[in-house]
């Protein structure tokens, strides 16, 4: 009988004679399995990886994207100041909007019209109009698919964040990244398949934005705070083990995992237990792989200069390094608070915020193109909602806009979307969607479609029913597909 297994059984004084015999049989089976794997040219370690819940899996449909990089502009950028020009709104600047009587019940819209202080120009062969705030992004206009007709259900941060990230306003549900990882697995077994780069702490609703909820815990996003990084080892807490040699640690972990497997055999079907066992292995493998992936100093100087020596530049360079190493879903947050929540000083704040990320986003798109990755990497840019066409306060140099969920803009690039295309439209003053509405559920359905999934079929059974990301809603936006 396996000597280590006998030692493990002695440690557990509650093991019954029947359980001991059962585990002994399991030990003999392990020896037989090891011999069989050896004949097949495999080891027990890589065989376990192939059985891992993170093992890469093919989609059920022909997908055009293999991975997603979600650039999350936390707080809600203003659509009429970024990607949805409204010259008519400038004509009403300082005046009451037409149809104000119909808006009397909504105090957010009761102020005077606020025209955009930013100039728009047409860019690329497609002629997409983009604000002066994003000159580097504008160079890639022919790669962008701008959706100007997005809408959500509630114009407050907590609910809108939950809707954009999990598909539900209030209830605990798995995030988009968790669903993607559940469906496709990861191409790298030594890194988390879902990484969240959120600097300066946690956003509103905190880790609920990247939770796995009732999906096994192995599919939850791994939060990384790049703001803390003076070296890659500090990005993830307790990544290094300075108290035990690597060889000894591997033996120790193998011994623990044998006991875990014995425990799991008696509790078959416990997905959370299985996730914890897999997490131990992942944590061990990450000790070398993660520090390398996050170390942007290993990039050529020319690449680092292209992204810029800023926090957001480093984050997006990390995102590219993670994506090329097989990480399935990378979400990059612009701030843990709501930096884009410009209730006042919108001209000053939006100019500063765009300046913090424009160079890095343009560099990311160019870098992905240079490496032949943009064609199968879906890049998504946007926030949880947009902003009102009216001023929240009297027209002063410190004026700003309130929250607005009916008619905001996002853009997508790569991964099989139609580049150089504008989908949908808001009315002439940006008050509401005028054509081709796209709900957040539709966006999620389309993302899953690009990855090779029917959003109605990607389900997980929990509490007696089948759940899905889009609940009972959502349609794929066919017009934006390449």
DSSP at 220:
S
Instruction: With respect to residue 307, please indicate whether it lies within any of the assigned structural domains.
Output: yes
Q: Kindly give the pairing relationship between strand 194-197 and strand 329-333.
A: parallel
Helix/strand/coil for 222: strand
**Domain identity same for 174 and 35:** no
Instruction: With respect to residue 50, please indicate whether it lies within any of the assigned structural domains.
Output: no
Residue pair 204/338 in contact (Cβ under 8 Å)? The answer is yes
Confidence of residue 98 (pLDDT cuts 50, 70, 90): confident
Domain limits for position 13:
3-42
- Burial code of 340-360, b = ≥16 C-beta within 10 A, e = fewer? bbbbbebbebbbebbebbbbb
How high does pLDDT run on average in the chain?
84
DSSP at 96:
P
Number of domains in the chain: 2
Residues whose CB is less than 8 angstroms from the CB of residue 329 and which lie 6 or more positions away in sequence, other chains included: 67, 68, 70, 176, 177, 180, 181, 193, 194, 195, 221
| Helix, strand, coil percentages for the chain (3-state, nearest 5) | 40, 15, 45
- The per-residue pLDDT for 252 is 66
18 has pLDDT over 80: no
- The per-residue pLDDT for 337 is 84
Q: Is 200 left (phi over 0), alpha (psi -120 to 50) or beta?
A: left
Of the listed ranges 51-55, 352-356, 380-384, the one predicted with least confidence? 51-55
Length of the chain: 482
146 has pLDDT over 90: yes
- Report the chain's C-alpha Rg in angstroms: 25
Q: What is the pLDDT of residues 422-463, one digit of tens each?
A: 999 999 999 999 999 999 999 999 999 999 999 999 999 999
Q: What is the residue whose two structure tokens read 């170390």?
A: 295
Confidence of residue 26 (pLDDT cuts 50, 70, 90): very low
**Domain identity same for 289 and 192:** yes
> CA–CA separation, 277 vs 216, rounded Å?
11
49 has pLDDT over 50: no
Q: What is the CA 64 to chain-centroid distance, rounded?
A: 18
Confidence of residue 39 (pLDDT cuts 50, 70, 90): very low
> CA–CA separation, 193 vs 353, rounded Å?
29
**Domain identity same for 105 and 210:** yes
> CA–CA separation, 174 vs 212, rounded Å?
4
Helix/strand/coil for 16: coil
**Domain identity same for 340 and 453:** yes
242 has pLDDT over 50: yes
DSSP at 221:
P
Instruction: With respect to residue 55, please indicate whether it lies within any of the assigned structural domains.
Output: no
**Domain identity same for 304 and 238:** yes
Instruction: With respect to residue 433, please indicate whether it lies within any of the assigned structural domains.
Output: yes
Q: What is the pLDDT of residues 351-365, one digit of tens each?
A: 999 999 999 999 999
Closest CA relative to residue 183, chosen from 294, 87, 69, 54: 54
Instruction: Give the domain CATH number at 213.
Output: 3.40.720.10
Instruction: With respect to residue 51, please indicate whether it lies within any of the assigned structural domains.
Output: no
DSSP at 224:
E
- The per-residue pLDDT for 238 is 54
Cα 230-202-409 angle, rounded to 5 deg: 105
Instruction: With respect to residue 52, please indicate whether it lies within any of the assigned structural domains.
Output: no
- The per-residue pLDDT for 109 is 75
Confidence of residue 54 (pLDDT cuts 50, 70, 90): confident
Q: What is the pLDDT of residues 265-290, one digit of tens each?
A: 766 656 666 666 666 666 655 566 66
**Domain identity same for 311 and 220:** yes
Q: What is the residue whose two structure tokens read 């809408």?
A: 151
**Secondary element (H or E) of residue 332:** strand 329-333
**Domain identity same for 160 and 211:** yes
Distance between start and end Cα atoms, the chain: 60
**Domain identity same for 22 and 143:** no
Encoded tokens for 362: 């343009």
Burial of 153 (0-12, 13-18, 19+ CB in 10 A): middle
**Domain identity same for 26 and 98:** no
**SS3 letters for 386-425?**
EECCECCCCCCCCCCCCEECEEEEEEEECCCECCCEEECE
- The per-residue pLDDT for 204 is 87
**Domain identity same for 84 and 130:** yes
**Domain identity same for 143 and 254:** yes
**Domain identity same for 132 and 12:** no
23 has pLDDT over 70: no
Instruction: With respect to residue 188, please indicate whether it lies within any of the assigned structural domains.
Output: yes
> CA–CA separation, 1 vs 24, rounded Å?
7
> CA–CA separation, 172 vs 255, rounded Å?
35
65 vs 218, higher pLDDT: 65
- Helical residues (DSSP H) of 327-471, grouped into ranges: 346-370, 440-450
Instruction: With respect to residue 54, please indicate whether it lies within any of the assigned structural domains.
Output: no
- The per-residue pLDDT for 40 is 36
> CA–CA separation, 76 vs 73, rounded Å?
7
Q: What is the CA 129 to chain-centroid distance, rounded?
A: 27
């Amino acid at each position: 009988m396996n000597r280590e297994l006998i030692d493990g059984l002695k440690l557990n004084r509650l093991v019954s004679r029947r359980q001991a015999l059962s585990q002994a049989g399991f030990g003999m089976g392990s020896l037989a399995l090891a011999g069989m794997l050896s004949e097949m040219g495999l080891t027990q370690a890589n065989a376990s990886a192939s059985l891992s819940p993170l093992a890469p899996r093919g989609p059920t449909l022909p997908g055009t994207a293999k991975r997603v990089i979600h650039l999350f502009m936390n707080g809600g950028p203003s659509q009429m100041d970024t990607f949805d020009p409204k010259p008519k709104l400038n004509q009403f600047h300082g005046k009451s909007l037409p149809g104000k009587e119909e808006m009397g019940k909504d105090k957010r819209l009761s102020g005077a019209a606020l025209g955009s202080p930013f100039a728009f120009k047409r860019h690329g062969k497609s002629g997409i109009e983009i604000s002066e705030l994003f000159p580097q992004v504008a160079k890639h206009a022919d790669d962008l698919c701008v959706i100007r007709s997005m809408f959500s259900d509630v114009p407050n941060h907590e609910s809108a964040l939950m809707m954009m990230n999990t598909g539900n306003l209030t209830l605990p549900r798995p995030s988009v990244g968790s669903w993607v990882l559940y469906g496709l697995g990861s191409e790298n077994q030594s890194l988390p398949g879902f990484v969240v780069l959120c600097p300066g702490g946690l956003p509103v609703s905190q880790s609920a934005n990247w939770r796995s909820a009732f999906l096994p815990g192995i599919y939850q996003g791994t939060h990384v705070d790049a703001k803390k990084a003076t070296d890659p080892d500090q990005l993830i807490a307790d990544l290094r083990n300075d108290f035990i040699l690597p060889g000894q640690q591997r033996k120790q972990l193998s011994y623990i995992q044998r006991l875990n497997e014995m425990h799991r055999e008696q509790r078959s079907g416990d997905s959370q237990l299985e996730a914890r066992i897999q997490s131990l292995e992942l944590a061990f493998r990450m000790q070398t792989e993660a520090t390398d992936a996050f170390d942007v100093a290993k990039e050529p100087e020319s690449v680092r200069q292209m992204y810029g020596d800023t926090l957001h530049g480093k984050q997006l360079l990390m995102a590219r390094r993670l994506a090329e190493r097989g990480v399935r879903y990378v979400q990059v947050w612009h701030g843990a608070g709501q930096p884009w929540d410009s209730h006042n000083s919108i001209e000053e704040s939006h100019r500063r915020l765009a300046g913090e990320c424009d160079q890095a986003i343009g560099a990311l798109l160019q870098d992905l193109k240079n490496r032949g990755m943009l064609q199968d990497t879906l890049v998504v840019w946007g926030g949880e909602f947009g902003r009102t066409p009216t001023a929240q306060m009297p027209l002063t140099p410190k004026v700003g806009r309130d929250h607005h969920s009916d008619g905001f803009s996002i853009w997508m690039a790569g991964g099989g979307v139609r580049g150089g295309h504008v989908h949908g439209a808001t009315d002439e003053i940006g008050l509401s969607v005028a054509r081709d509405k796209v709900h957040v559920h539709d966006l999620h359905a389309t993302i899953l479609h690009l990855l090779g999934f029917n959003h109605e079929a990607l389900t997980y059974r929990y509490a007696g029913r089948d759940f899905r990301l889009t609940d009972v809603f959502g349609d794929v936006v066919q017009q934006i597909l390449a």
